[in-house]
Each structure stands twice: as structure tokens, then as C-alpha cells.
Chains A and B, each alone.
Chain A
Amino acid sequence: MDKLSVLIAGIGGQGVVTAGRIIAEAFSVKGFKVFEAETHGLSQRGGAVNVHVRIGNVDGPLISKSGADILIALEATEALRNIEYLSNHGAIFLNASVKPPSLPKVKVYQLSEITEILKRWRTYVLDCNEIVGETGRCNTGILGVVYQASFSKYLDKDDFLTLFKDQVNRDSFLAGIRYWEKMKYLLTETM
């Protein structure tokens, strides 16, 4: 691998920064050079947030437009807001959940409209409940899916599992791995 760029998009409070940090930690432990760029402060409170993770032979902390290999959207609308970062060959892991902004009277995209726009990329539409059930952690489940689909080429699952502080997260991550193994062909067909 020369370099790998992962953009995580979502809403402040969803654990976007935590997800970015875990990916960076896991690659760092394996000896890859990493940069993970976050925004804090006012931009976090329920607003649109993204985290840039760059791994490998990199110097700049921000991903270039059309430079991301993977876009993880923890909220579906946020995939649209960040789509210009994704390379033509990139893949989208989309949490199938739409959350309206806390502004009055705004038009909100339906999930079907979003997936229609995104259909020219490899898009994996993920239903968290299906992955982790009622008690699991949605974001960690999606991380498990992305691990199995991509990061497992470079890392072992233990590189991630040791970073989680509690069993719920470990179980959710493993559920994501199982989900990908079971569903990958089906998911790919819907792209």
C-alpha cells in the first residue's frame, strides 16, 4: 500500500472523531504513518463533521478532492455533503439513517434519493440494527464491516479489538465482520 485515505462523515455527537481515532490508532500500532485531522469546538455540536484519516506515504493531513478511497457516512445526508472527496474508484459505507438538521422548515433528502445519487459509486447501504441488533453500537458495527471489507488486508482484527474499552464495542465490531462475510456478495450486487 502506498497510501490510503478514509473520510468519515457524520453529525457532531455521533462518534465521528472517535471512529477516526480508532482507525488511526489501529494503523499506527501496525507501524503505518498516519495523520488524522479532526475539528473540535463549535463545529461539533450537532453540526456536520468530518474526519480525514490518511495512512502510509503521506505528508498532508487533509484528503484532496476526489482523493478518498473510502467514505464512511454515519448519517446518509452527510455522504452527499462530502462526496466530492471520494475518488471515482472509491467505496461508500452508508449508514441507512437520515437525520434532519435542527433548523426549521428545511427540505430533507429521503434515503432513496440519496442512494440514487450515489449509485455511480460502489455503495454499501448498511442497516445498523440488522448488523448489531438493539443492544449493539451502530458505529462500531459499521467499523467492523469496513475492517472486513478493506482494512483486513493490512491489519488483524485484534489491532482493533484491543482498542475498545468495553465488550459492547468489541461485540459490535465482530458483528460487523460477520455481517460483511455473510452479505458481501449481496451488498455488492446492489451497487
Chain B
Amino acid sequence: MIMLVSKPKLMLGNEAIAYGALASGVAIAAGYPGTPSTEIIETLMRFRDVYTEWSSNEKVAFETGFGAAMMGARALVTMKHVGMNVASDSLMSSSYTGVSGALVIVSAGDPGMWSSQSEQDIRHYGLMGMIPVLEPFNPQSAHDLTVEAFNLSSSVGHPVIISTNTRISHVRSQVNVLPKQPPIYGKFQKDPGKYSLVPEIAKRDREEQLNRWEKIKSLTSHLVESHGDGEVAILGVGISYSYVREALRTLNIDQVKIVGTSCSVPLPYTIIDELIGVEKVLVIEELDPVVENQLKALLIDNGLHIRVEGKNLTGYAGEMTFERVHRSISKFLGVTIEEEESPINLTEVPRRPPAMCPGCPHRSSFFFLKKGLTLGGIQSTFYSGDIGCYSLGVLPPFNEQDSLVSMGSSLGIANGVYRSTHVIPVAIIGDSTFFHTGLPALANAVYNKLPVLIVVLDNRSTAMTGQQGSPSLVIDIADAAKGIGVKYVEIGDPFDPSFAKTVSKAVEWVKKNQSPALIVAKRACALEVIDKVKPTQVAFVDPNKCTGCTICYDYFTCPAILKRDDKKAIISQQDCIGCGACVPVCPFNAIRLEGDKPEGWDQAWTS
């Protein structure tokens, strides 16, 4: 009998998952930061008896958890949905071998793409790899299902995936937390007959995987619940179940049976019992028809003729909302649900995309990179971008990310661009991304002699997800590049206008030598700097010198620099952090810093 330790506490879904793992005796937790998954590891880092790490990428994180679970440990691995693609090679193998302890993978999805390149449905990995996927419907269920996942994993000896999303992970709600258990570390053990997937062993493991899958089907069969009765049913999966429950209550629709499940792979066969006597069912789930298709198969297997509606009414794209639930229920039941017309047409509200912060070194990097390329005789190039805060270089006025498709993709895409056009591309990659998946592509660029200018934007952290560390803190990127065989390597300070010269020289070298050159633009994340040292300086515009040329606010676009009615610039004293990056940008020397430099300021920017 497990007792509650406390009254419900308000916490994020991610914290609830972390506490669920602690209640399950998690000993090893590894991940790569990625919104909306990051706070799980951050929460576990507060507990000293649990080994936690930010790994260099999701595959390494997964293998860390996998290796620990081979030793009998209870391991948790976290990542965002697209991180599963990076981890997937080993993930698929783990389903063949199974584990000796417990291995739970949390993949935090991002339907609606609040901060992601795609909204891929990772539940397909469960179907593809025969790995169960549990899907919570609110923060409390995220906590409880984490405990469920660890129990399932350890009792079957099989990996288990928890699929969460932005509206679970980043929703704060009351959670009853189970007490923490002592971490279960492994003990040294070897079983090559299970874990070394040479064909002979893999063939045997495949049989065992299928046996475990049957066990998993019966151990997940209880993850179904239902309310009410009726000849029509609505099946809500994960968070959609929450929306369905509230929608039917608000709309006063009864005589509909509500069925909910928090296990999307394998869809519990017990769902059939809930649907006996039902004429038609509407499946409401986010993203792809993963449950819908399994349900159709189950019904056919059981000889049941029940009409199944789903994606044809709910649609695929975006996150689940009340509007989508209302609209699909209305079509499904043939009832009219009043929808209030959008009160005003506001198509002209100016876009407000995220912006690089005041003091962000990337802004200066992009500003002087463009200048340097012009100096180096390159008028037009392909900016092969990558994933990080610097992805914002896609926005005007910079327009310096012509593609950004996945972590570490900048160099591979640049290779394809050059091979097909012979235009020398510029690959832009951050320090954390460089170590995440940039290294193999860099080896390829050296090996296959790719004429490319590589700019590593080294802001000393994984900044976009909240300044987690990066291997760049202990491995010098210039040294690493030299070690891999890059012949031309330079380090530059993006705040220094001579950075443009560094760029132009490197470009000239690439043209002459037809080989990769690499520049490290090195300066710390501004948010991290002002966390360490309180700024005491601030920038001012001298209105007598300012000519209203617009460069600082239209071509440099620091959020602290504003346009006055007379077109001259003015600096918001609230937003300016006194970094001085704008000083050399003004061609009329109208911007100056005032105040004394605080102690430790320069070190904070450059260390």
C-alpha cells in the first residue's frame, strides 16, 4: 500500500514525471535538453543520490539509460519528440534485447509546433518497435503513469515510452506525489547472449520480443476507463480525453458513452468490452490516427461492425483544443454547437516573433558575417542553418538561415548544396549542436573536401532551452576542428567589428583551397552573463550625432533600440544591458556606453 506524502502540490507536468520516476527508484537519468522536455532532468538534478546528466545528444542519452538498465538499474531517458529520431537506432534494438532493470523513455511532443521544426507523432515508434506507449491526460496522470511505466518495464524487462506534450509537460496543476524510493542502481552483470545483436542472437531475441509483447498486452489492458452509457461513444486518448470530458459536461450532452485510454500502443484490447452495444465511435486523439487505426483492426479481429470516425472529423494538424473537439462532436452527433464568431478581424496585428535578446552575440555574428562575406567577394550564398537560438537568423533583417531542418543538419545540407551547384555555402551551427550531431558531418566535409565556410556560434551553452551546459565548456571547438583535420580554424569575437575581416579572410582561403574553413564566433549567452554579473553600464544615443540612418534599429534590431518619431534612435534604459554591441554598429559614432563596467563583466562574456 503506497501512502501519499503530502497534500497535492502545484507543479508542472514535467516535475510530476520526475517525481514519478523518484517514486519508482530511478537511479540513472540522462537526456538532451529540448522544449518541452527539459524540466524533467532539471528537477531530478536536485536529488544527489540520482545520477543525472545532459548527454551530448539523445542517442548517447538513450544508450546511457539502456546500458544502466542492462545492469539492472532503473533508468529514465528524456528528450523532445524529434530527439527520438536521433535515439531511434538503439531504441529499436532495445526492444529486441529487452532490459534487466527498467528503462523508461519520456518523449515530449509539440503539437502546434510552439518551438519545434515538426509535430511528428512519436507513437509510431511504439508500433514500429513493439514498445508500449503511455499517454497521460494531465499532470497527475503523468505522475501516475510514470510509476506505471517503471513497473511495466521492470516486470516485463522491456523499454516503455511515455508520450507527453506541451500541454502536459508545461501545464501546472495540482499533483499528489508518491514518496521517493531509494534509487535502484544495477550490479555488474554480463549477458552477451541477450545484448550482442549478431544475427544468431538477434533471431532469438526477436522471438522473445514477440513473447514479451503478448505479456505487455495483458499488463496494459487495465488502462481504459469509461463514464456514462449510450449507443454512441467517444474515445479520448491522452489529453484529448480531458477535453472530451469537459466538452460534454459543458455542452450538456448525455447519452454518450465516454471512453478514455492512457495507453496508445498497444491499444488495450479491453476497449472492445466498452464498445459492445455501441453503434458508432468517435476517436479523438492528437496528431496521427494511431489509436484509430488500431481500434479499426481490433474491431475487425473481433467481428464487430461499429462505425469508427476520427481524423476525418478532428483533422490532423495542431494541438487539441476545445474548438476542434466541439466541431468534431457536432459533426459526429449531428447536433449544432453554437460557435461564437471571431469578434473582430485582426489580420493586421503586427507579427511578434521571438527575437534575439538584447546583448545576444548571435545578432552581432549575423551582422558582421554578412559584411565579411561581402568583403570576401561573396554576394550571394546559401546559409545552411541549424537548430538553436540562432535559428532566429531566419528573420529579417538578417535572412541568414536558408534552411534549417534538424539538429546538426547544416553541414550535410551544405554538402548537397555545393555538390549540386558549386556555390560555396556557409554552414552556421551552435556549440551544443556542433557536438550533438555536427561532428560526423564535419568529418565528412574534411574527408570529401567540401569548400564551405563553417561558422560555429559558440555562446558557451545550450541557450534556447535555458542555458544548460554544453561540451564546449570543456572541449575547445577550435582544437576539435583541427583534430578532425580542418586546416583553417580561427576564433573571433562577434562584438568586435574586425570579425567581418576574420570572415572575409576565411572565405578567401576557402575559395583558394577548395576545402572547409571554420570560424568560432565566441561570446557567452547574454542571459547567462547578466545572471552572473549585474549590469551597471547602459548605452545612450547622442541625438545631435544621430542622423536617423536607421541602421541600428532596422538592420541590427536590438530590441532595446527604438525608433523615435523623428527617425532618430533612442535606447530603452529598461531593456539595455550595457553590452556595447551596438556601439561599433553606428557609422556616426552616436552611441556610447555610460557608467562603470562592473567587476567580472568581461570575464563573464568570454570565459
Interface of A toward B, CB cutoff 8 Å: 11-13, 21, 24-25, 28, 33-48, 57-67, 77-78, 80-81, 83-84, 86-88, 100-109, 117, 120
Q: Which of B19-36 contact A (CB under 8 A)?
A: 35-36
Is the CB–CB distance between B167 and A62 below 8 Å? Answer: yes
Q: Are B36 and A40 in contact (CB under 8 A)?
A: yes
On whether the beta carbons of A37 and B170 are closer than 8 Å, the reply is: yes
- Starting from the known contacts A48-B353, A80-B346, A103-B557, 19 additional A-B residue pairs (CB-CB under 8 Å) come to A36-B172, A40-B36, A40-B170, A41-B38, A42-B391, A42-B392, A44-B354, A45-B357, A47-B355, A61-B167, A62-B167, A66-B340, A83-B343, A84-B343, A88-B340, A88-B343, A101-B352, A102-B356, A106-B351
Fill in one digit per residue for B327-353: 1 if any A CB lies within 8 Å of its CB, else 0: 000000000000110111010111111
B247 to chain A: closest residue by CB: A60
| A40 lies within 8 A of B115 (CB) | yes
Q: Are A34 and B174 in contact (CB under 8 A)?
A: yes
Nearest A residue to B340 via CB reads A66
Q: Is the CB of A47 within 8 A of B353?
A: yes
Cβ-defined contact, A39 with B114, below 8 A: yes
Q: Complex Cα distance A174/B167, Å?
A: 33
Contact indicator A101/B351 (Cβ below 8 Å): yes
Tell me the smallest distance from the CB of B521 to a CB of chain A, in Å. 19
CB <8 Å contact, B350 and A62: no
Cβ of B403 under 8 Å from chain A:
no
Does A77 contact B343, Cβ atoms closer than 8 Å?
no
Interface size of B by CB at 8 A reads 59
Interface check B92, CB cutoff 8 A: no
Residues of B within 8 A of A25 (CB): 10
User: Do A102 and B115 touch across chains, with their CB atoms under 8 A apart?
Assistant: no
Interface string of B154-171 (1 = CB under 8 A from A): 000000000000110011
Contact A62 B172 (CB under 8 A): no
5 contacts between A and B (CB under 8 A): A35-B138, A40-B38, A40-B466, A61-B242, A109-B350
Most chain B C-beta atoms within 10 Å of own C-beta, residue among A28, A40, A48, A57: A40
Q: How far is the CA of A31 from the CA of B321 in the complex (A)?
A: 26
Contact assessment for A45 and B355 in the assembled complex, using a CB-CB cutoff below 8 Å: yes
Give chain A residues whose Cβ lies under 8 Å from the Cβ of B357.
13, 45-46
Complex: A103 Cα to B239 Cα, angstroms = 36
Kindly identify which residue among B170, B323, B343, B356 contacts A45, using a CB–CB cutoff of 8 Å: B356
Q: How far is the CA of A134 from the CA of B355 in the complex (A)?
A: 27
A35, B172: Cβ atoms under 8 Å? yes
Is there a chain A Cβ closer than 8 Å to B389's Cβ?
A: yes
Contact A41 B396 (CB under 8 A): no
Closest 4 CB pairs of A and B: A41-B35, A47-B354, A64-B322, A102-B355
| Cβ contact within 8 Å between A38 and B172 | yes
Enumerate chain B residues within 8 angstroms of A47, measured Cβ to Cβ: 352-355
Smallest beta-carbon distance B389→chain A, Å: 7
List, in ascending order, chain A residues with CB within 8 A of B478's CB: none
The reply to whether the CB of B464 lies closer than 8 angstroms to some CB of chain A is yes
Whether B115 lies near A42 (C-beta < 8 A) is yes
- Interface contact A62-B321, CB-CB below 8 Å: yes
* A42 shortest CB reach to chain B, Å: 4
B397 on the A face (CB < 8 A): yes
- Residue ID in chain B nearest A32 by CB atoms: B174
Minimum distance in angstroms from A10 CB to a CB of chain B: 10
In the complex, which of the residues B114, B115, B243, B343 contacts A60, with contact meaning CB atoms closer than 8 Å?
B243
Q: In whole Å, how far is B159's beta carbon from the nearest beta carbon of chain A?
A: 26
Specify which chain A residues have a CB less than 8 angstroms from the CB of B348 in the assembled complex: 107
Whether the pair A104, B557 counts as a contact (CB closer than 8 A) is yes
Chain B residues, CB < 8 A from A62: 167, 319, 321-322
Query: With A39-B170, A59-B246, A64-B322 as given contacts, are A117 and B344 in contact (CB-CB < 8 Å)?
Result: yes
Residue numbers in A under 8 Å from B464 (CB-CB): 41-42
Q: What separation, in Å, do the CA atoms of A109 and B397 have in the docked complex? A: 21
A60 to B246 Cα, complex, angstroms = 7
Give the residue of A44, A83, A108, A117 whose beta carbon is less than 8 angstroms from that of B350: A108
Expressed in whole angstroms, the Cα–Cα distance for A86 and B340 within the complex equals 11
Q: A2–B312 Cα gap in the complex (Å)?
A: 33
Which of A47, A61, A86, A88 is packed against the most chain B CB atoms within 10 Å?
Answer: A61
Residues of chain A within 8 A (CB-CB) of B397 are 104
Contact among A41, A80, A102, A117 with B465 in the assembled complex (CB-CB below 8 Å): A41
Contact between chains at A102 and B559 (CB < 8 Å):
yes
Residues of A within 8 A of B562 (CB): 100
> Is B346 a contact of A83 with CB atoms below 8 Å?
yes
**Residue of B352, B357, B397 ringed by the most chain A CB atoms within 10 A:** B352
Whether the pair A45, B322 counts as a contact (CB closer than 8 A) is no
Most chain-A CB neighbours within 10 Å: which of B350, B466, B555, B559?
Answer: B350
Task: Give chain B interface residues in 375-433, CB to chain A under 8 Å.
Answer: 389, 391-392, 395-397
Residues of A within 8 Å of B599, CB to CB, are: none
Contacts A42-B35, A60-B243: A11 and B173 contacting too (C-beta < 8 A)?
no
Cβ B114 vs Cβ A11 within 8 A: no
Contacts of A34 in B (CB 8 A): 10, 172-174
Contact of A106 among B174, B319, B343, B350 (CB under 8 A): B350
How far does the alpha carbon of A66 sit from the alpha carbon of B342 in the complex, in Å? 8
Which residues from B are CB-within-8-Å of A107?
348, 350
Contact A103 B395 (CB under 8 A): yes
**A64 contacts B323, C-beta separation under 8 Å:** yes
Tell me if B354 and A42 are in contact (CB < 8 A). Answer: yes
Do B395 and A33 have beta carbons less than 8 Å apart? no
B466 contacts which chain A residues (CB < 8 A)? 40-41
**Do A103 and B322 have beta carbons less than 8 Å apart?**
no
Contact B10 A102 (CB under 8 A): no
* Complex Cα gap A108–B352 (Å): 11
- Contact residues in A for B171 (Cβ distance below 8 Å): 35-38, 61
**Which of B35, B114, B173, B351 lies in contact with A103, CB distance below 8 A?**
B351
Which residues of chain A have C-beta atoms less than 8 A from B54's C-beta?
none
Interface centre among A11, A41, A65, A101 (most CB of B within 10 A): A41
Contacts of B354 in A (CB 8 A): 12, 42-47
- Chain B contacts for A65, CB-based, 8 A: 322-323, 339-340, 342
Which residue in chain B gives the minimum CB-CB distance to A37? B171
Residue of A nearest to B112 (CB): A39
- Find chain B residues with CB under 8 A from A80 CB: 346, 349
| B residues in contact with A61, CB < 8 Å | 138, 167, 171, 173, 239, 242
Chain A residue, CB-CB nearest to B12: A38
Chain A nearest CB from B17 CB (Å) reads 15
